[in-house]
Amino acid sequence: MDTAAEAGSAGTGASARLDFDAIVIGAGVTGLYQLYKLRELGVRVRAFEAGSRVGGTWYWNRYPGARFDSESWTYGYAFSRELLNEWDWSEHFAPQPETERYLNFVADKFDLRRDIQFNTRVTAAHYREDTRNWEITLHDGSRRTTRFLVTAIGILSAPVMPNIPGVESFKGQSCHTHNWPKETVSFAGKRVGIIGTGATAVQIIQTIAKTVGHLTIFQRTPNWCAPLNNSRISTEEMRGIRARYGEILARCRETPGCYVHSTDPRSTLNTTPEERTAFWEKRYASPGFGFWQGNFQDMLTDRAANALASEFIANKIRSRVHDPVVAEKLIPKDHGVGMRRQPLETGYYEVYNQPNVELVDVRETPIERVTAAGIQTSAKAHDFDIIIYATGFDAITGTFDRMDIRGVNGLRLKEVWANGPQTYLGVFVQGFPNLLMAMGPHAGLGNYTRCAEYSVEWVTGVIQYATQRGLTRVAATAEGVREWTDYVLGLGQGQLMNETGSWMTGVNRNLEGKQTPRIMRYSGGHPAYREHCDAVAAAGYPRLALA
């Protein structure tokens, strides 16, 4: 029994003998707000966080160059006008240290730390039907009980190392980008190898290329990157943003991905070549996700339209990279623009014009092993001082899979989801009563904080509904899960993003069973997702079994 819990306030009578009424796993963007909202309800709540501080993604991913790809002023929490008034963003796309500072500021402002246990990884969570509660196990073997268990574990929190032999044998410095050390790493004069060319790698490459001695980039699949077009925010500009917060947030509520960008209603092929080139030039020169989220409405559903947009970007790459052989290698051939989440860059392609930068296409010359001195490909040995693994994540369901989560009769979540997630509204799973997933699979996904705030508020609504009525068991029904899962899978049909291998479709080529794209998220746009969930709440949660 936890002493802080014993001292806890309010609580429902029914769960008085449990350590907590609610446990939140994670103290990142979602977990912090979930803790705030549950505390507001007056229930006894505790968050458990593996890191030593708050921030989640923005705590772990402290690699050089890490920054937003959503506009900073659309990413902050909107629930507190006071908070919006007190925080100034320094850049339109803030760097990681600033976001980490912001989340610490939020934790301080709302005194959240007193209910967070840091340096504590949850390794297991088992449901007990006789007492209708969850028992979680922490990495030190100790246990805590709770009525409701809320996961706020993010979608990109389970890093994956490449399945290349010899990774442990390298004698220099190496790490996965997600586990970047807190101490500054100097690249000056160093021979550096980096595996991966996703959004993370793009940010690191363009940053360390400025000081590195020699940089070798091991690329398996190139991505369609577009310029971030970042800039600083002056005091006066910030004042203007603050005055327009109402309008900005309203706009984010209207767009499918909760960004300020939204698609152009025209069809690509109904425009003249001149019209669309002018349109794309404008998008390419504008800040943020304009090219991806603000393109013609058919770019991500019509292959012919997509091919034209892809060719536009291909020509940009050709114009920016001097060596035509290297340029061709940097142009994706197996998927079109926007079919994977588009990495945003600042001078990324120009890095390949530096004499001290080498691109290794591992499809031509595969990596055979990591050695004590570096990386051996089928063509040659590359010696390094530092190897960076920017090799991505077991996304969306991976963090769930890494915990031993068991529901009714010992049912294992990992097995239930062996062929892909099955959920009700992305929040509940059949056979796992009182488990609520904030930002779970098959929920609406986009500009993260915008979506997380909604998810947290909806989850809180369910817990409030239950606690006010003395309900101790909130469970998804078979029909609810079947209907929602079928609906989400149906909605995702015909969307090119769902047909392409990427973390967004649950593909990780280093992992067995994760080679084929699956529909992992609700793809009907966040406004429709909210409408659906709001209607469910207004009707008293008809597809949940409440007892």
| Interaction site with ligand NAP (CB under 6 A) | 67-69, 156, 162, 164, 195-201, 203, 218, 220-221, 341, 362, 390-392, 503, 509-510
Q: Which stretches does DSSP call E strand in 322-434?
A: 344-345, 357-361, 367-370, 374-377, 381-383, 386-389, 404-406
Please report how close the Cβ of residue 108 comes to ligand NAP at its closest, in angstroms: 24
Give the separation between CA 166 and CA 370, rounded to whole angstroms. 5
Which CB sits closer to ligand NAP, 66 or 436? 66
| 3-state secondary structure (DSSP) of residue 264 | strand
Which CB sits closer to ligand NAP, 198 or 480? 198
Max CA separation in the chain (angstroms): 71
Which CB sits closer to ligand NAP, 45 or 445? 445
Distances (CA, A) of 18 to 25, 32, 446, 463: 17, 22, 36, 16
Q: Are 87 and 76 in contact (CB under 8 A)?
A: yes
Please report how close the Cβ of residue 401 comes to ligand NAP at its closest, in angstroms: 16
At 413, list the tokens.
Answer: 């979540």
Place of tokens 């014009």: 353
Tell me which amino acid residue 462 is.
Answer: V
Tell me which amino acid residue 525 is.
Answer: G
Which CB sits closer to ligand NAP, 256 or 433? 256
Give the separation between CA 418 and CA 148, rounded to whole angstroms. 24
Please report how close the Cβ of residue 206 comes to ligand NAP at its closest, in angstroms: 12
Which CB sits closer to ligand NAP, 336 or 431? 336
Please report how close the Cβ of residue 251 comes to ligand NAP at its closest, in angstroms: 20
Give the separation between CA 108 and CA 528, rounded to whole angstroms. 34
Q: Which residue has the closest beta carbon to ligand NAP?
A: 198
**8-state DSSP, 280:** H
Which CB sits closer to ligand NAP, 66 or 437? 66
**Cα–Cα nearest to 470, from 82, 107, 14, 44:** 14
Give the separation between CA 285 and CA 490, rounded to whole angstroms. 35
Which CB sits closer to ligand NAP, 264 or 358? 358
Please report how close the Cβ of residue 163 comes to ligand NAP at its closest, in angstroms: 6
Please report how close the Cβ of residue 522 comes to ligand NAP at its closest, in angstroms: 16
Which CB sits closer to ligand NAP, 196 or 256? 196
**Enclosing H/E stretch for 126:** strand 122-128
Please report how close the Cβ of residue 442 comes to ligand NAP at its closest, in angstroms: 18
